[in-house]
């Protein structure tokens, strides 16, 4: 049996799978250790990938050369582009997925990835050579060694499930927790705390009257996540599955309140911090006591199962209360459970203890990725997995790290927020967290990141060639629109219909298209057919990119200039040995936070909560700037 590797990844969730695929793809001999090889990247909560800001992250992972987008496309059962009524900075792709197919596609990919080995077991402790991590020891008594270790344990570290007065150690329902790692790392100076999340009941679709519910269909012209020319499952099948929208009511609320005295959340038995933006149903009733109803979504778990996920109904109340409450929802009067809702509490490591590479500051060659860093969500986890693997591979090969900037990727925003600001609740990505979000659109993720992915050896030649061809077609189409004009008599009728002013002289197509009322469909008839973009596999992405570049040109240029100005502070390096405690002109709060976080640049220091502009001025003076 092989015992020596370049990189060991612990945990086969979304962070672990992406990390293992990335590390091996870059050429590191990699071992992935997971407790259950049947549940690779299992979607423990809702069976969906993407959504607001999360969809942008998936496209960024794909642009770099990661796998989440590809696996999502292969298992999609419904696709929707959210926020299409808003500007393109807010457009967010979301796919319902076949849960079992998603996991099996991940396993198929990993099993056929060169330089990647897998071992089913539980890691119970890390091995050290002095202060440097050197390997792992497993429950089956095996020892494996590596030059770098990536921990991606998700909710399994000292995990504990709560349903009413029942509580049991578990990483997921029916699966054992990981015991021992937290204590070992705590003894080596790592700060550990507790967080809580939850999941709703799963419903047997045969027991539901869908005719009483509001149907949510997928897009009539569904897109996909990956920039590669691979058709999605729904494109192959020519059909999508429906989701359904329902609402709670006063009878549901009354039944749920009967269980409040038995709630582990309200009795204080759960001490971990829960996600504010995805609260349990009992939390909603207490926080929004004046609301007469709350929306719920019934989402299918796959093509070949009757299992449905009741989004919005996470709970830790007793099973009988959950069951009776669900049966008071319209259309679910005869609902049958496959699984009850439950809450889970688990250990996480304070992310301010990490470098931007996701390496632990005081334990060389040890990396943390995923929920153990205080995040929530498959997409946030996978983003950390790919970046931890990139940087672990580069460190052991004496190469410069890859650190994405806040104006470069949502992934850069995510990691910078974690490292610089820390977390006081499970961190979830939103578009509002990105101050340069008009630059970080889902449509231009390949333009932002594929050249970097290709440069570091992760984005392959096929992906890079497709990107170059797409960019060339996009630029050609844009130039044609800039250099060609249209006569008034050909366009005025279209302008009238659009509710915008007519023209009296020839106008360039870019001037026409820059009007908010005019769509691509209004002018496409005048564009030469089959020469500029239509023959390309990503034709729609090409013309959408062109339309966005024209309509939002001023905003994009202004935000780009602002970002360059603000991020200049990120080029001012602070030496690692800098002693903030001796800078008495800093406020006490700033000294303490700066000393604890040890920012690498003035820009990072400026983003630490509690560090004022005056403190930054003091630091610049000390650094001779």
Name every residue whose Cβ is closer than 8 Å to that of residue 219 and which is 6 or more positions away in sequence. Answer: 79, 80, 81
pTM over 0.85: yes
What is the residue whose two structure tokens read 């992972």?
A: 61
Q: Could you read off the pLDDT of 566-619 as tens digits, one per residue? A: 888 888 899 988 889 888 888 888 888 898 889 989 999 999 988 888 888 989
What's the token pair of residue 555? 């905003």
Q: Taking a C-beta distance cutoff of 8 angstroms, is the pair 107, 17 a contact?
A: no
Q: What is the pLDDT at residue 204? A: 98
Q: Taking a C-beta distance cutoff of 8 angstroms, is the pair 325, 256 a contact?
A: yes
What is the largest distance, in Å, between two alpha-carbon atoms of the chain? Answer: 83
- Classify 178 as helix, strand or coil: strand
Q: Taking a C-beta distance cutoff of 8 angstroms, is the pair 533, 539 a contact?
A: yes
Question: Which of 149, 154, 203 has the alpha carbon at shortest distance from 177?
Answer: 154
- What is the rounded distance in angstroms from the CA atom of residue 33 to the CA atom of residue 20? 10
Q: What is the pLDDT at residue 4? A: 97
- Classify 346 as helix, strand or coil: strand
Q: Taking a C-beta distance cutoff of 8 angstroms, is the pair 321, 277 a contact?
A: no
- What is the rounded distance in angstroms from the CA atom of residue 432 to the CA atom of residue 417? 13
- What is the rounded distance in angstroms from the CA atom of residue 607 to the CA atom of residue 625? 18
Three state DSSP letters for 465-500: HHHHHHHHHHHHHHHHHHHCEECHHHHHHHHHHHCC
- What is the rounded distance in angstroms from the CA atom of residue 141 to the CA atom of residue 148? 20
* Own/partner pairs, 481-486, CB within 8 angstroms, 24+ separation: 481/508, 481/509, 481/510, 481/513, 481/527, 481/546, 481/550, 482/508, 482/509, 482/510, 483/508, 484/508, 484/509, 485/509, 486/512, 486/523, 486/526
Q: Taking a C-beta distance cutoff of 8 angstroms, is the pair 427, 375 a contact?
A: yes
- What is the rounded distance in angstroms from the CA atom of residue 438 to the CA atom of residue 514? 16
Question: Which of 111, 129, 140 has the alpha carbon at shortest distance from 32?
Answer: 111
- Classify 597 as helix, strand or coil: helix
Q: What share of the chain is helix, strand, coil (3-state, %, to 5)?
A: 40, 20, 40
Name every residue whose Cβ is closer than 8 Å to that of residue 83 and which is 6 or more positions away in sequence. Answer: 52, 90, 91, 92
Q: What is the pLDDT at residue 533? A: 65
Q: What is the pLDDT at residue 568? A: 86
What's the token pair of residue 342? 């439950």
Q: With a cut of 50, list the residues of the chain below it in pLDDT.
A: none
Question: Which of 541, 522, 552 has the alpha carbon at shortest distance from 473?
Answer: 541
What's the token pair of residue 213? 């519910």
Q: What is the pLDDT at residue 530? A: 66
Cα angle 183, 188, 189; round to 5: 100
405-418: b or e for each residue (b if 16 or more CB lie within 10 Å)? ebbbbbbbbbbbbb
Q: How far is CA 205 from CA 215, 300, 541, in A?
A: 14, 8, 36
- What angle, rounded to 10 degrees, do the helices at 14-25 and 378-396 form? 30
Q: How far is CA 80 from CA 49, 232, 568, in A?
A: 11, 13, 38
């Amino acid at each position: 049996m092989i015992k020596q590797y370049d990189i060991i990844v612990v945990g086969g969730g979304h962070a672990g799978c992406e990390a293992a695929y990335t590390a091996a793809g870059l050429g590191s001999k990699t071992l992935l250790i997971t407790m259950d090889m049947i549940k690779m990247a299992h979607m423990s909560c809702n069976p969906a990938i993407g959504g607001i800001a999360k969809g942008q992250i998936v496209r960024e992972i794909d642009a770099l050369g990661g796998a989440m987008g590809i696996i999502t496309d292969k298992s999609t059962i419904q696709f929707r582009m959210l926020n299409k009524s808003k500007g393109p900075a807010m457009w967010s792709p979301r796919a319902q997925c076949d849960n079992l197919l998603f996991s099996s596609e991940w396993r198929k990919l990993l099993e056929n990835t060169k330089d990647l080995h897998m071992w089913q077991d539980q890691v119970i402790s890390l091995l050290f050579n002095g202060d440097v991590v050197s390997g792992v020891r497993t429950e089956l008594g095996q020892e494996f060694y590596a030059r770098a270790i990536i921990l991606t344990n998700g909710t399994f570290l000292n995990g504990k499930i709560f349903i009413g007065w029942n509580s049991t150690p578990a990483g997921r329902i029916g699966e054992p927790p990981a015991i021992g790692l937290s204590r070992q790392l705590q003894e080596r100076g790592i700060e550990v705390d507790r967080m809580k999340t939850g999941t709703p009941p799963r419903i047997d679709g045969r027991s539901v009257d869908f005719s009483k519910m509001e149907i949510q269909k997928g897009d009539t012209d569904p897109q996909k996540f990956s920039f590669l020319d691979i058709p999605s499952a729904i494109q192959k099948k020519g059909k999508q599955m429906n989701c359904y929208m329902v609402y709670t009511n006063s009878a549901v609320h009354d039944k749920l309140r009967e269980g409040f005295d038995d709630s582990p959340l309200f009795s204080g038995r759960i001490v971990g911090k829960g996600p504010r933006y995805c609260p349990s149903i009992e939390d909603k009733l207490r926080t929004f006591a004046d609301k007469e109803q709350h929306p719920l979504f019934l989402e299918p778990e796959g093509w070949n199962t009757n299992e449905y996920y009741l989004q919005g109904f996470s709970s830790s109340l007793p099973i009988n209360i959950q069951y009776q409450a669900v049966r008071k929802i319209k259309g679910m009067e005869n609902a049958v459970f496959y699984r009850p809702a439950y809450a889970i509490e688990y250990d996480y490591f304070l992310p301010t203890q990490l470098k931007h590479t996701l390496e632990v500051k005081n334990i060389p060659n040890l990396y943390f990725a995923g929920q153990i860093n205080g995040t929530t969500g498959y997409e946030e986890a996978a983003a950390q997995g790919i970046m931890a693997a990139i940087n672990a591979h580069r460190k052991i090969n004496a190469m410069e790290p890859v650190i994405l900037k806040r104006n470069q990727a949502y992934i850069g925003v995510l990691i910078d927020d974690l490292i610089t600001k820390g977390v006081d609740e499970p961190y979830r990505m939103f578009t509002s967290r990105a101050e340069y979000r008009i630059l970080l659109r889902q449509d231009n993720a390949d333009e932002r990141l594929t050249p970097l992915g290709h440069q570091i050896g992760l984005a392959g030649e096929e992906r890079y060639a497709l990107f170059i061809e797409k960019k060339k077609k996009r630029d050609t189409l844009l130039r044609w629109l800039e250099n060609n004009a249209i006569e008034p008599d050909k366009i005025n009728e279209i302008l009238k219909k659009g509710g915008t002013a007519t023209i009296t002289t020839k106008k360039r197509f870019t001037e026409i298209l820059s009007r908010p009322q005019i769509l691509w469909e209004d002018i496409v008839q005048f564009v030469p057919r089959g020469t500029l973009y239509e023959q390309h596999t990503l034709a729609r992405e090409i013309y959408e990119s062109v339309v966005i570049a024209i309509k939002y040109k001023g905003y994009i240029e202004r935000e780009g200039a602002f970002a360059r100005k603000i991020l200049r502070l990120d080029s001012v390096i602070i030496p690692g040995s800098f002693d903030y405690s001796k800078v008495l002109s800093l406020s006490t709060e700033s000294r303490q936070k700066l000393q604890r976080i040890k920012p690498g640049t003035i820009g990072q220091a400026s983003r630490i909560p509690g560090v004022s502009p005056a403190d930054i001025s003091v630091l610049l003076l000390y650094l001779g700037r």
